[in-house]
Amino acid sequence: MDLQKLIDQGPNIAVIIEGTSWRLDDTVDALVASEDWDLIGRLLVSASEISARPLVQKLVEREVYTPLAIAACMRRQPRRPGEGAAGGGGGAASRIFRDINAEDAEKGVPDYIRADIEEMSKTATQTRASSMARDAAMDRDPTRQYIIDQIAPKMRESEEAINAMIAIARASAWDETRRTAALKVANDSLAVARLARGQRTEDIREISRIALLSQVAETFAREMGKSFKQYANDKDADALRFIAEHHPDEQYKDSARQWAESIEGQSAPE
């Protein structure tokens, strides 16, 4: 990014990140009018929810999906006051050690007591680390869900919207966000048809895997069965393998498996 452009946008950046200025609406309009999608995508990652929502709405209206996908992949729930504090590395156990050290010169502390306290300190540290990891895994930033909900209806009219949803499903840092986006794609019949006709088997496999539902793979396989001849003519063994693995009709399964084996063997059946 051009650093001078960053400096020029400094006042707007502060407004979007904080989301508390009376200039918020005008700032959002000015940013969208600038069409600096790179900057807007970066801002959406850190913007307050108050300013993120109108930005998302404006981008959807303009049919600009890349900044939305970036935010849905990278944005996390803003930290609440006191969340994630390290707590000084031991709390009560640290105070106990200080007391023990202070009394060491007077009468000493048995080794077995010191060992017990050290073990307590280690356990407390591990418990805090596990708790923080669970909190991170359960991140519930509402803006990510809002972005998915806003893009979803657009998939019926825009391949770019479909591509953005697939990017979220395959690249978001959050399991729940990935699965939600994958299910949005799988539940949109036009999106499923476009992926099947476009022979986008890698995307289909990943969406099916991320969705964690066998019905999703079956839905794609049924749709891909309608393009069976195209896959065979194009010698698309991967697509035929997917049909063989997931189509509910045994005849389709057998035919797809035979064609895939023949293509992989460099000879197609008559």
Greater confidence (137 vs 31) lies with 31
pLDDT of residue 87: 47
Contact 210, 169 (CB under 8 A): yes
- The contacts of residue 15 (CB under 8 Å, 6+ apart) are 21, 23, 24, 27, 51
Alpha carbon distance 100, 109 (integer Å): 7
With the CA atoms of 28, 34, 36 and 37 taken in that order, what torsion angle do they form, in degrees rounded to the nearest 10?
A: 60
Does the pLDDT value for residue 104 go beyond 60? no
DSSP alpha helices (H): ranges in 35-188? Answer: 37-46, 49-61, 66-74, 92-104, 111-137, 142-151, 159-171, 175-186
Q: In this predicted structure, which of 64-73, 84-93, 107-116, 212-221 has the lowest mean pLDDT? A: 84-93
Say how many C-beta atoms besides its own lie within 10 A of residue 213's C-beta. 14
**pTM, two decimal places:** 0.77
Torsion from C-alpha of 255, 260, 262, 265, nearest 10 degrees: -160
Integer Cα distance of 84 and 132 in angstroms = 7
pLDDT for 79 equals 59
Q: What percent of the chain stands above pLDDT 70?
A: 80
Q: How far apart are CA 43 and CA 32, in angstroms?
A: 12
What pLDDT is stored for residue 155 in this prediction? Answer: 97
Tokens at 75, concatenated = 């944005």
